Amino acid sequence: MTKALLEVRGLDVDYGAVRALRGVDLSVERGSVTAVLGANGAGKTTLLRALSGLLRPASGTIELDGRDLTRAAVERIVRLGVAHVPQSGGVITELTVAENLRLGGLWRGDRAALARRIDEMYALFPPLAERRSLPAATLSGGERQMLALARALTGSPRLLLVDEPSLGLAPRVVARLMAVLRRLCDEDGRTVLLVEQNARSALSIADRAIVLDLGAVVAAEPAATIAADDRLRHAYLGF
Amino acid sequence: MVRFINLTLAGITSGAVFAAVALALVLIWRATRVVNFAQGAMLMITTFIAWSVIDAGGSYWLALGAALASGLVLGAVVERVVVRPVENKPHLNAVIVTLGLFVVLQAAAGMIWGDTPHSYPPAFTIRGLSVAGTWLLLSPFDLFVIGAVAAVMVALTLLFVRTDLGLKLRAAAFAPEIARLQGVRVGRMLTLGWALAALVGSLAGVLVAPSVFVGPTQFDAMLVFGFTAAVIGGLDSPAGAVVGGLLLGCALSYVSGYVSSDLVTMGALAALITVLMVRPNGLFAASGGRRV
Amino acid sequence: MSIDSRALFRLTLVRHTCGAVAAIAVLYVLTTTAGPYRDLQIAQAAYLTCAVAGLTVLTGLGGQISLGHGAFMAVGAYTAALLIIHQGWPLAAVLAAATGATALTGAVVGAVAARLEGPYLAGATLAFAIGLPGLANYEPLIDLLGGQNGLAVPPPVPPAGLGAAFPLERWQAWIACLGAVLTLFLLANLTRGRFGRTLRAGRDDEIAAALAGLRVARLRIVATVVSAACAGLAGGLLALVATLAAPGAFPLALSLQLIAAIIIGGLGSLAGAVWGALILVFVPTWASDAASTSGLSHNIASNLPLAIYGLVLIAVTLAFPRGLQGGLRDLGGALRRRLPPPRLPTNPPGGADEATTDDAGARPDDRGGAGGRGERVRR
Ligand SMILES: Nc1ncnc2c1ncn2[C@@H]1O[C@H](COP(=O)(O)OP(=O)(O)OP(=O)(O)O)[C@@H](O)[C@H]1O
Ligand SMILES: [Mg+2]
């Protein structure tokens, strides 16, 4: 077995005096989808924010491909190929759709490749192509999620961190989004860490899953095992 | 009628300068949510630097270049050293720090150059043009003022809209955290934003210097005019700042021409209050402000 | 008001009265032993104390900044000058009128300012400070206000009972000190009571205060009126001490110095206001002394105080966000038990808000669907 792409050991994160993550261990295999599940306030967003450098852990280590990222700046982590799609997307509403997309890949500094990637994104998400020169403020919630995901992909990240992409979307759109995420792994060899409230859809595409509760990992198993565990499902996942 | 036209022309010229100061304020507000109360003092310093170049025998254009370059540097230094610690702090802190800077710069100018105002030469003659036997309140220098401000506006627009750097600057200003997640070095962008704003301000200082003279307190009113123009335009919108500057320039020109030149600042105050009471988000803001 | 709080109120009243009497006694000794030059400085510090104290209440307790207090002082000074020159009113009436006229101006400014926030308020009051002195040069008013030269005010005559040789400067110092002590006494009682509490509540959380039934806007107007009245008294005293009311006495720099004084003294602290005013008077003296002994040029000496204020403003804001005194108090806070923090009369909205957040976060059996809704509500 090759070493995992992302390796997290004993991660503690505090908000002031409040500990939001305690001793989180996580390893994400290359080319897999790993789901992070848990109730509101379990610490899922906190975990992603710590991984992308937005929060500084109190202790523990984060390694990407054997490289220590625990105290690295956001800008550096991005340049190592980690893309973070924040909760509710975080498209910049004052910019146009095309500008949002371009922003996601600017750091690579390769204009021709960026233009190609953006065209691929338009092919993958046709609604974005039609609205490319409109301000992102005019997009619907689902379109914004697409834009956020597409923007992350224009940087060709190795590791994609996605925070609750299904939030507020119709079931059909959720299913499409999940399919896209799965394809990213199967066809492009990307690695996805997927935070979801909607455990059922996440488990349907994930290889593995971890369940967070009050900031601690309570289960880390293959997705099928978790989906089959009635006790876990009832206690933490609500289905 | 001729008087009205003349006052309008004079208003457009001074409005162009107000617009430049307003633009400096707007660029900074947009990027860092700080109203730079030191803007007047910063452009005073850069204008003094230009004056020193001329005083030492340098040409007008060399002096202008010196002012712009020093504006760029001053803006960057101010952001890094003084403003960075109060970004994202309560508004009062930013207000007080920029006021402190205002006072320091004013005192420094007094120490270096003295408190008596100096005259500053215009680039071209300030004798009004004559059209069909009528003298207009529009001189070749006024045309230069309008043209220079317009050129800077166009250049800035191109920079912001057409270039990758401009995209990063806007992203950093609108949504710093999201921008960081896209790999934008936000701190650098904010510094650059302040530098660009100070550059625009320093241009305004040199352009208005022939009429207000160069002294430590000579540019205080420019801050009021620029702020008023920026608020008319919504404080968030560069285009609004330009329109606000021109509107304010004309309005104050009428006040000065028809009422009294001593009431110009009070006129600006009246305009400011009216706008703030009627449309707190500026005359051109779409209804409802963006995030606070 | 319960028995307890009434007793407490009487206690503070007694304490403040004792303080005022003690201050008057100290000032009496000081002014009688000092020469005319020192007396004049004491007078200056005294009228500046009025203005700084008024401003520190507005900004420190009310959270509203004003860059226009120099202009308020101008209103007071011109009112006093006009009344003395044209009406020959007695001193107390002149000062009361100066205070009253400025309070009226403050009501107008306050009505506008109550609707403004942060930088907008600062910008508007800045325009007020720069614009108002210009009125003195306005053609139709030049005869009345004396234009750039201003109005020369006949110096106040010491009462005959004090003897013919009684120095004018000591008399001026007495008037100004009495004004300052009275201002501090009134402000101390005002801010210790309900007014101060509600003012702080409105500053700390406007929405919560409004929901708790406080009329924040009206409160702010009242605060501006009180603060302007203090500045008006300061202006009236300035006219008596400087025997002049001229636009040059009220530059923007004056307003900024007042701001510097409240920051240096510690926002919201009346004792700090006294320190701030003393600094405004004695730093320039010290600077010119230092300049003459070390041979600094005039330009440097005359601008040195301003440079110091500015640097201190920046340094204090960066180092001690609560002002120098506040910073020192913070350091000593561990040693000395502090007064309990001001509380709102009732605070249901804040509590309810927290409860929903906690509910959504802490219950492990929280369902995904319900959580989703909570999430949407929160955003
Ligand atoms: N900025 C913050 N300051 C203080 N506490 C915070 C902050 N952000 C989150 N928390 C707390 O940290 C805990 C974890 O929050 P987090 O946002 O990571 O939860 P989550 O699992 O993403 O929840 P959700 O499904 O609702 O998005 C919660 O108890 C939350 O109240
Ligand atoms: Mg979350």
Of B89, B84, B117, B83, nearest to B101 (Cα)?
A: B83
Question: Quick check: B276 and C132 CB within 8 A?
Answer: no
- The mean pLDDT of C93-116, rounded to a whole number, is 90
Sign for the pseudo-dihedral over CA of C117, C123, C129, C131: negative
Sign for the pseudo-dihedral over CA of C239, C242, C245, C248: negative
- pLDDT, greater one: B290 or A227: A227
Whether A198 is in the pocket of ligand 1, judged by its Cβ within 6 Å, is no
Q: Which ligand is nearest to the CA of A50?
A: 1
pLDDT at A198 over 80: yes
The pLDDT of residue C3 is 56
Residues B267-281 have pLDDT tens digits of 898 888 888 888 777
Residues C169-193 have pLDDT tens digits of 888 888 888 888 888 888 888 888 7
Predicted confidence band of residue B123 (pLDDT cuts 50, 70, 90): confident
**Which range has the top average pLDDT, A151-155, B32-36, C302-306?**
A151-155
Option in A54, A75, A93 nearest B183 (CB)? A75
Burial B263-288 (b: 16+ CB within 10 A, else e): bbbbbbbbbbbebbeeebbbebbeee
A228 within 8 A of A42, measured Cβ to Cβ: no
Tokens of C316: 């204090």
Mean pLDDT of chain B: 89
Predicted confidence band of residue B47 (pLDDT cuts 50, 70, 90): very high
Helices C118-131, B220-232: crossing angle, 10 deg rounding: 130
CATH topology of domain B2-123+135-278: ABC transporter involved in vitamin B12 uptake, BtuC (1.10.3470)
HEC letters along chain A: CCCCCEEEEEEEEEECCEEEEEEEEEEECCCCEEEEECCCCCCHHHHHHHHCCCCCCCEEEEEECCEECCCCCHHHHHHCCEEEECCCCCCCCCCEHHHHHHHHHHHHCCHHHHHHHHHHHHHHCHHHHHCCCCEHHHCCHHHHHHHHHHHHHHCCCCEEEEECCCCCCCHHHHHHHHHHHHHHHHHHCCEEEEEECCHHHHHHHCCEEEEEECCEEEEEEEHHHHHHCHHHHHHHHCC
Residue of A13, A19, A36, A45 best suited for mutating to test ligand 1, as the one with most atoms within 8 Å of CB: A45
Residue whose CA is closest, atom 30 of ligand 1?
A41
Ligand 1 nearest-atom number relative to CA A212? 21
The pLDDT of residue C6 is 67
Question: Quick check: C124 and B276 CB within 8 A?
Answer: yes
- The mean pLDDT of B19-36, rounded to a whole number, is 91
CATH topology of domain C3-251: ABC transporter involved in vitamin B12 uptake, BtuC (1.10.3470)
Sign for the pseudo-dihedral over CA of B62, B67, B71, B73: positive
Helices A111-124, A141-154: crossing angle, 10 deg rounding: 150
Q: From edge to edge, which strands make up the β-sheet containing A59-64?
A: A18-28, A6-15, A59-64, A67-68
Tokens of C83: 């009344």
Going through C104-209 in order, the beta strands assigned E by DSSP cover 151-152
Ligand 1 nearest-atom number relative to CA A39? 25
Whether A142 is in the pocket of ligand 1, judged by its Cβ within 6 Å, is no
In the reported structure, the alpha carbon of residue A49 is separated from the centroid of ligand 1 by a whole-number distance in angstroms of: 11
For chain A, the straight-line distance linking the first and the last C-alpha, in angstroms and rounded, comes to: 33
- The mean pLDDT of B163-191, rounded to a whole number, is 93
Of C133, C134, C150, nearest to C85 (Cα)?
A: C150
Percent with pLDDT over 70 in chain B: 97
B76 within 8 A of B188, measured Cβ to Cβ: no
Mean pLDDT of chain A: 90
pLDDT at C210 over 50: yes
- pLDDT, greater one: B49 or C27: B49
Option in C112, C127, C306 nearest B224 (CB)? C127
Mean pLDDT of chain C: 77
Q: Which ligand is nearest to the CA of A36?
A: 1
Sequence ranges of the domains in chain B: 2-123+135-278
**How many of the other CB atoms lie within 10 Å of CB of C319?**
10
Q: Is B214 helix (H, G, I), strand (E, B) or coil?
A: strand
- pLDDT, greater one: C366 or B85: B85
A230, burial (CB in 10 Å: exposed 0-12, middle 13-18, buried 19+)? exposed
The pLDDT of residue C263 is 85
pLDDT at C288 over 90: no
What are the chain A neighbours of C375 within 8 Å (beta carbons)? 40, 167, 197
Sequence ranges of the domains in chain A: 1-81+157-239, 87-156
Please state which of the four CATH numbers 3.40.640.10, 3.10.20.590, 1.20.120.80, 3.40.50.300 is assigned to the domain occupying A1-81+157-239.
Answer: 3.40.50.300
pLDDT at B234 over 70: yes
- Cα C243 to chain centroid distance, Å, stands at 23
**How many of the other CB atoms lie within 10 Å of CB of C146?**
21
Predicted confidence band of residue C161 (pLDDT cuts 50, 70, 90): confident
pLDDT at A61 over 90: yes
* Cα–Cα dist B209/B218, whole Å: 9
Residue whose CA is closest, atom 29 of ligand 1?
A41
Contacts of C225 (CB under 8 A, 6+ apart): C103, C106, C107, C110
The pLDDT of residue B184 is 94
Secondary element (H or E) of residue C265: helix C252-265
Percent with pLDDT over 70 in chain C: 80
* DSSP structural state of residue B261: G
What are the chain C neighbours of B91 within 8 Å (beta carbons)? 117-119
Whether A45 is in the pocket of ligand 1, judged by its Cβ within 6 Å, is yes
Predicted confidence band of residue A229 (pLDDT cuts 50, 70, 90): confident
Question: Quick check: C300 and B111 CB within 8 A?
Answer: yes
Residues C214-253 have pLDDT tens digits of 677 788 888 899 999 999 999 999 998 988 889 888 988 8
Q: Virtual CA dihedral for C13, C14, C17, C23, nearest 10 degrees?
A: -120
Contacts of B154 (CB under 8 A, 6+ apart): none
Site from B181, B186, B236 to mutate, A interface, most A CB atoms within 10 angstroms: B181
pLDDT at B116 over 80: yes
- The mean pLDDT of B252-258, rounded to a whole number, is 91
Q: Among B25-29, B116-120, C281-285, where is mean pLDDT lowest?
A: C281-285
B180 to each of A13, A217, A235, B208, C273, how far by Cα in Å?
Answer: 20, 28, 37, 39, 44
Whether A44 is in the pocket of ligand 1, judged by its Cβ within 6 Å, is yes
* DSSP structural state of residue B83: I
Predicted confidence band of residue B291 (pLDDT cuts 50, 70, 90): very low
Predicted confidence band of residue C370 (pLDDT cuts 50, 70, 90): very low
Question: Quick check: C302 and B103 CB within 8 A?
Answer: no
Residue whose CA is closest, atom 12 of ligand 1?
A20
- The mean pLDDT of A103-111, rounded to a whole number, is 89
The pLDDT of residue C4 is 65
The pLDDT of residue B2 is 83
For B105-137, give the DSSP string.
HHHHHHHHH-SS-B----SS--SPPEETTEE-S
Residues C49-72 have pLDDT tens digits of 999 999 998 888 888 888 999 999
- The mean pLDDT of A187-213, rounded to a whole number, is 90
- Beta bridge pairs of residue A18: A15
What are the chain A neighbours of C362 within 8 Å (beta carbons)? 41, 214
Question: Quick check: B100 and C311 CB within 8 A?
Answer: yes
The pLDDT of residue B55 is 94
Option in C63, C112, C310 nearest B103 (CB)? C310
Question: Quick check: B103 and C306 CB within 8 A?
Answer: yes
The pLDDT of residue C320 is 67
C330 to each of B8, C61, C85, C149, C338, how far by Cα in Å?
Answer: 57, 17, 49, 47, 10
Whether A38 is in the pocket of ligand 1, judged by its Cβ within 6 Å, is yes
Check if C117 contacts B (Cβ < 8 Å).
yes
pLDDT at B75 over 90: yes
Sign for the pseudo-dihedral over CA of B265, B267, B270, B274: negative
In chain A, which residue's Cα lies nearest the Cα of B170? A95
pLDDT at A237 over 80: no
- pLDDT, greater one: A102 or C297: A102
pLDDT at B168 over 50: yes
Residue whose CA is closest, atom 27 of ligand 1?
A40
Ligand 1 nearest-atom number relative to CA C371? 26
ipTM for the assembly: 0.91
- The mean pLDDT of C152-172, rounded to a whole number, is 81
For chain B, the straight-line distance linking the first and the last C-alpha, in angstroms and rounded, comes to: 44
- Beta bridge pairs of residue C207: none
* Cα–Cα dist B108/C309, whole Å: 12
Q: Is C85 helix (H, G, I), strand (E, B) or coil?
A: helix
The pLDDT of residue B223 is 92
The pLDDT of residue C362 is 32
Give me Rg for the CA atoms of chain C: 24
Chain A interface residues (partner B, CB cutoff 8 A): 52, 54, 74-75, 78-79, 83-84, 86, 90-95, 99, 102-104, 106-107, 151, 155
Contacts of A58 (CB under 8 A, 6+ apart): A12, A13, A14, A19
pLDDT at B56 over 80: yes
In the reported structure, the alpha carbon of residue B65 is separated from the centroid of ligand 2 by a whole-number distance in angstroms of: 51
pLDDT at C372 over 50: no
Tokens of A4: 């995992």
Question: Quick check: A106 and B181 CB within 8 A?
Answer: no
Secondary element (H or E) of residue B67: helix B60-78
Question: Quick check: C374 and A197 CB within 8 A?
Answer: no
In chain C, which residue's Cα lies nearest the Cα of B256? C138
Of B2, B270, B43, nearest to B135 (Cα)?
A: B2
Q: How close B120 gets to chain A, by Cα (Å)?
A: 42
Predicted confidence band of residue A35 (pLDDT cuts 50, 70, 90): very high
Of B52, B87, B99, nearest to B227 (Cα)?
A: B99
Predicted confidence band of residue C285 (pLDDT cuts 50, 70, 90): confident
* Cα–Cα dist B157/B159, whole Å: 5
**Which range has the top average pLDDT, A2-6, B120-124, C73-77, C374-378?**
C73-77
* Cα–Cα dist B233/B282, whole Å: 5
Sign for the pseudo-dihedral over CA of C172, C178, C181, C183: negative
The pLDDT of residue C114 is 83
Sequence ranges of the domains in chain C: 3-251
Of C357, C122, C103, C67, nearest to C223 (Cα)?
A: C103
B25 within 8 A of B227, measured Cβ to Cβ: yes
For C223-256, give the DSSP string.
HHHHHHHHHHHHHHHHHHHHSEE-GGGS-HHHHH
Tokens of B20: 């430049």
The pLDDT of residue B183 is 93
